[in-house]
A and B are shown apart, each in its own frame.
Chain A
Amino acid sequence: MTALGQPLLTKPVSAKLAATPWGFFLAIAVLLFFVVAAVFPAALATHDPYAMNFANALHPPSFEFWFGTDESGRDLYSRVIYGTRESLLIGVGATAVSLSLALVLGSLAALAGRFASAAVNRIIEVLFAFPTLLLALLLVAVIGPSAMSQVVAVGVGTAPGYARIIRGQILKAKDSGYVEAAVALGHPRAWILRNHVLPNALRPLVAIFALSVGQSIVWASSLSFLGLGVAPPSPEWGALLDAGKQYITQAGWLTVLPGLVIVVLALAATTLGKHIQNILEKDEK
């Protein structure tokens, strides 16, 4: 299962970060920076992200151009800052799509009648059998490349894994001693579902949400990199990677630096998620 955890990140690094409290604060600081970049990009950018200046084309990183410039002489750092909003929205949007779909599928698989739940389970299994990226590619091919289709594609692609988690959580809560105690007290089924099963089953989703935002950005960037995302002039991060790959031998910074930014953001989101998970688990045990 690649959906939860670390498709591109190395586990030891994020685990080490998760173990120290300063890792938690660092993650929050990084996320705050990107939130500011998404809301007020002008406050953080040093140049106009769209202003072309062919005299400065493919300028390596310097004091003037922190991340260097691209083939049209645009400042890469400012483009990364201006691309934050779209990248974050795609990440958050895809996560929302993914978890909503997972919630519906997972709940049905756990709670519906015997035949309905068996059918939903088969659907989840079939979706699960596809590699996430393949499923996303398929959807983009059908809908056509755009930011919206990226959100849907990544959302649907990562949903089966979360659906399985949610189904397991609900089943666990449903079989618990406290649900039986509630039945013995005479509470109706719907009340028990609302007051015991769902709250306990969905508690871990807070952590999963944070983890998933990081993953979704990585998946979405992968799609953009394959040319199946946002159209080129946009400074969305995956698109930056895609544009930079032609110059990878002469101007490596065009791919390496946006790639690093993606890694840093995903790492921060994952670290935050792990911390939330730890806190929730400490609460429970």
Chain B
Amino acid sequence: MTTETARTAATAQPAPTTQTTPTTQPASTNPATPLLRVEHLHVGFTRGGETRPVVNDVSFSLRAGECLAIVGESGSGKSVTARTIVGLTGANAVVDAETLELDGINLTTVSEKAWRSIRGRRVGFILQDALVSLDPLRPVGKEIEEALALHGWGSRAARKRKVVDLLESVGVPNPAVRARQRPDELSGGLRQRALIASALALGPELVIADEPTTALDVTVQAQVLDLIAGMKERGVSVILISHDLSVVARLADHILVMKGGSVVESGSAHQVLTAPTHQYTQALIDAVPGGHTRGERLGPALDASLPAPDTRAPLAPSDGPVLEARDLVKRFRGPGGAQSTAVDHVSFTLDRGTTLGIVGESGSGKSTTARIALALTSADEGWAKLLGQEWTSVTESRRRHLRNRIAVVYQDPLSSFDPRWTVERILVDAVAQADRPTTGAAARSERARDLLRQVGLSEQVLSRLPLKLSGGQRQRVAIARALATEPSIIVLDEAVSALDVSVQAQILDLLVELQDRIGLSYLFISHDLGVIHHMSDTVLVMKDGRVVERGTADDVFLRPRHPYTQELVRSLPTLEDPGASTARPGGPSAVDTLPAGAAEAAPR
């Protein structure tokens, strides 16, 4: 499994004898000479004769066996920085650097042909979404084999064996069988492992992982992080790119925090995480929700432009729970007539002014439960009552008058807006659906402005199409629409999952504030344990359609009883204890708990 190293004739330094066999000791490179040196890197994109800078004056170096984390939110330039190192910035990019060296090779002058011998062989690249990075029509084994063949590695038979070895080394069970399967036949975790295997195929000295766990469930994320930790132990240098500080906390030796194309902070992981010097880093750390942030704001308070607490009369007689569900069952017919139970006897009660969190991984049935609670999907068995009235068991026309009592905010707000409608039309339309509808166009428009103020947006967005708004603004408009009918309940289905940490913090703060002022109840659905712990009073943990544990948020997350909840909590990356970079026992070899091809059974 030894790789040929130091292929360049002009190696002015000892060749790093990188090996990928687990038993070998870390590489014996002179620790003084970094593997990768980047000094004063500038990258810009040219369009229409104008160059827009996206990376400004970034410098760092990386030694063998070290892990550098580049952390930042969308648009921070972190991915562009990483792509520059493998020469994949694109044709319209202008790259300028005082030094950009990989093991003595000047990467600024490398020809396209020479790049091909660097990519894969010396630098492996792991992208976020394994489903789009892998050819959907080809078995994953072929994909890896091709990477080997491209670099003229071994004979055909040897390559076939190597593929199975590689898949096994990244913890893919039944590697010989998996190698023959296409990406869509594998679960997200297995796909990501296959992608990692192909990045590791030629034993590169440096692996760049761009958001390698962002699309994954938390337990799978923990396994993938273990895998990267194992790579690092074997002497592979790692550049880990993430928007999430807690993901990199365990692995990183050094952390680079980027914002708007510039480095705002860099230093040892311990120093950056425990004693950040820049306020943006501190804000990023504070913005991470979790048990320790319950009852606290995640971000600085907004200016006091918010209207005074609502003085309207209570929305409905407040006896009993606002939403009550009993023994909900939903079955879906899979391909070939096989039936799967997406929701299996789920019961819950949501009280006025409280938040019920439903947490679970993909395929756990949490979103289907939400859709039944919204009466957008019918339940096969069981019932739900809204404000004490029949809800899921009656026809649409009989429950329509109750629709304005329960609102919904989705993960992707854009698709929930008619693309032709401006923000004003969206809000005015919803305002008209309230119980005591505001009459008159002027009054409705005034109410729309009022709603925008409540969610912290200026009136300027009224005339715009949602398409022209940022992700955070869209989510605020979605919340404003949800508030427009003066509901008792808002169902939040992964409503903050697609947002940057700091925007997520603002939205969560806003939701807490609204709950305090208007007495809203939330049904909060998320895969993110930290968010659920921060927001919820009571929590349901779902797995395979069943509720495996329920209780108060602190009970569930601090004293979990069910083994699955315990595993979830263990898998959750935390900011605490940085520098403890040892792999968890049983890490990479832990069996993938998801069945192959496990996917959300819901039709959405």
- Interface residues of A, Cβ cutoff 8 Å to B: 176-178, 180-181, 183-188, 196, 199-200, 203, 283-285
Contact = CB atoms under 8 A, between A and B. Distances in A.
The 8 closest A-B pairs by CB, nearest first: A186-B403, A177-B415, A177-B416, A181-B416, A178-B418, A185-B433, A186-B400, A184-B408
Contact of B403 (A177, A184, A199, A284): A184
Contacts of B88: none
Interface string B388-411: 000000000100111110111010
A283 B412 CA distance: 19
B412 A203 contact: no
A120 B376 CA distance: 28
B359 interface: no
B420 A199 contact: yes
A186 B386 CA distance: 14
A186 B401 contact: yes
A183 B416 contact: no
A187 B433 contact: yes
Contacts of B419: 178, 200, 283-284
A188 B400 CA distance: 8
A208 B463 CA distance: 29
Given A178-B418, A181-B408, A184-B408, 15 more contacts: A176-B415, A177-B410, A177-B417, A178-B419, A181-B481, A184-B407, A185-B404, A185-B429, A186-B404, A186-B433, A187-B433, A196-B418, A200-B418, A283-B419, A285-B467
B430 interface: yes
21 contacts: A177-B410, A177-B415, A178-B415, A178-B416, A178-B417, A180-B376, A181-B417, A183-B403, A184-B374, A184-B406, A184-B407, A185-B407, A185-B430, A185-B485, A186-B400, A186-B401, A188-B400, A196-B418, A199-B420, A200-B419, A203-B420
Contacts of B410: 177, 181
Nearest to A179: B418
A78 B408 CA distance: 66
Nearest to B478: A181
Interface string B469-492: 000000000000100010000000
Q: Which of B410, B416, B418, B419 has most A Cβ within 10 Å? A: B418
B225 to A, nearest CB: 33
B95 to A, nearest CB: 29
Contacts of A200: 418-420
Nearest to A183: B376
Contacts of A196: 418
A283 B408 CA distance: 26
Contacts of B402: 186
Interface in B402-453: 402-404, 406-408, 410, 412, 415-420, 429-430, 433
A242 B408 CA distance: 64
Contacts of A199: 420
Nearest to B415: A177
Contacts of A185: 403-404, 407, 429-430, 433, 485
B146 to A, nearest CB: 33
A186 B485 CA distance: 10
A183 to B, nearest CB: 6
Interface in B216-243: none
B400 A184 contact: no
A109 to B, nearest CB: 20
A176 to B, nearest CB: 7
Contacts of B418: 178, 196, 200
Nearest to B419: A284
A254 B485 CA distance: 70
A283 B422 CA distance: 12
B376 to A, nearest CB: 6
B509 to A, nearest CB: 24
Contacts of B406: 184
B116 to A, nearest CB: 32
Contacts of A186: 400-404, 433, 485
B423 to A, nearest CB: 13
B364 to A, nearest CB: 21
A8 to B, nearest CB: 34
A199 B481 CA distance: 21
A186 B416 CA distance: 15
A185 B485 CA distance: 8
B477 to A, nearest CB: 12
Contacts of B467: 284-285
Nearest to A189: B396
A184 B402 CA distance: 10
A180 to B, nearest CB: 6
Contacts of B403: 183-186
A165 to B, nearest CB: 18
A27 B400 CA distance: 51
Contacts of B407: 184-185
Nearest to A187: B433
A186 B415 CA distance: 18
A33 B477 CA distance: 48
Contacts of B433: 185-187
Contacts of B404: 185-186
Interface string B356-374: 0000000000000000001
A285 B406 CA distance: 31
Q: Which of B376, B420, B481 has most A Cβ within 10 Å? A: B420
Nearest to A203: B420
Nearest to B374: A184
Contacts of B376: 180, 183-184
Contact of A180 (B400, B416, B485): B416
A279 to B, nearest CB: 14
Nearest to A196: B418
Contacts of A285: 467
Nearest to B401: A186
Nearest to A188: B400
Nearest to B418: A178
Contacts of A183: 376, 403
Contacts of A180: 376, 416
Nearest to B404: A186
A176 B421 CA distance: 14
Nearest to B414: A177
Contacts of B408: 181, 184
Interface string B485-518: 1000000000000000000000000000000000
A83 to B, nearest CB: 40
A229 to B, nearest CB: 40
Contacts of A283: 419
B484 to A, nearest CB: 8
A187 to B, nearest CB: 7
A200 B417 CA distance: 12
A184 B493 CA distance: 14
B86 to A, nearest CB: 29
Contacts of B420: 199-200, 203
Contacts of B416: 177-178, 180-181
B260 to A, nearest CB: 25
A180 B418 CA distance: 11
B555 to A, nearest CB: 32
Nearest to B430: A185
Interface in B369-383: 374, 376
A85 to B, nearest CB: 36
Contacts of A188: 397, 400
